[in-house]
Amino acid sequence: MTSMKRVKKVLLALLMLLCACFLVADPEDGFYIVALIVSVSLTAYGVRTLLYYFTMARHMVGGKSILFIGIIVTDLGVFSLTTADDPKLFLVVYLLGVHAFSGAMGVLRALEAKRYASPSWKWSLLGGIANLTVAVLAVVAGLFLRSTASLSYLYAATLFYSACVQLVSAFRKTAIVYIQ
């Protein structure tokens, strides 16, 4: 990893930590800021993916999948910006969708790694189960308890965890493979 990528990861982690602290300090108003940040970041990622498709990926194998991902993510970002008036529903759907998908993929990845006798399958399984737990907690806190503060604290915890993972990956030594 280049030093510029490391700096970007550290800055992103610090921004995540700042947002998590803001959510913990003011859980009611923090919803709107989080909804805005998520919407803008989804839209920016979608536009960046579309630009990548039109500049390079249309000539690649599997380029159409990049086009579809760019269209879907851009649409999701714009849609989430329009639903920012009701951030509780937005945050429940976001937490449920992202963590349920990540959890299912983590469990499936762990089962595949176990089948190939990989030693890291336990960590993948643990991460998948943790993501599924966050999805269930988001549904319980948002739809059944109707607690805005609980959703804010849950989202702040996931932001804190993601920031810690970003910091660890930024300072981890990267292996360089030499072909002789």
Q: Could you tell me if residue 179 is inside a domain?
A: no
The structural domain count of the chain equals 1
pLDDT, tens digit, for every residue of 56-111?
888 888 888 899 989 998 998 888 788 767 666 666 677 677 778 888 888 998 89
Q: Is 178 helix (H, G, I), strand (E, B) or coil?
A: coil
Q: Is 106 helix (H, G, I), strand (E, B) or coil?
A: helix
pLDDT, tens digit, for every residue of 148-180?
778 778 888 888 888 988 898 888 877 666 676
Q: Could you tell me if residue 175 is inside a domain?
A: no
Q: Could you tell me if residue 67 is inside a domain?
A: yes
Q: Could you tell me if residue 136 is inside a domain?
A: yes
Which residues are CB-contacts of 169 (< 8 A; sequence separation ≥ 6)? 9
Flag whether the pTM goes above 0.85. no
Residue 156 Cα distances to 13, 23, 42, angstroms: 13, 6, 18
Q: Could you tell me if residue 177 is inside a domain?
A: no
Q: Could you tell me if residue 107 is inside a domain?
A: yes
Q: Could you tell me if residue 105 is inside a domain?
A: yes
End-to-end Cα distance, the chain = 21
Q: Could you tell me if residue 17 is inside a domain?
A: yes
Provide the domain limits for residue 111: 3-170
Q: Among 34, 38, 7, which Cα is nearest to 167's? A: 7
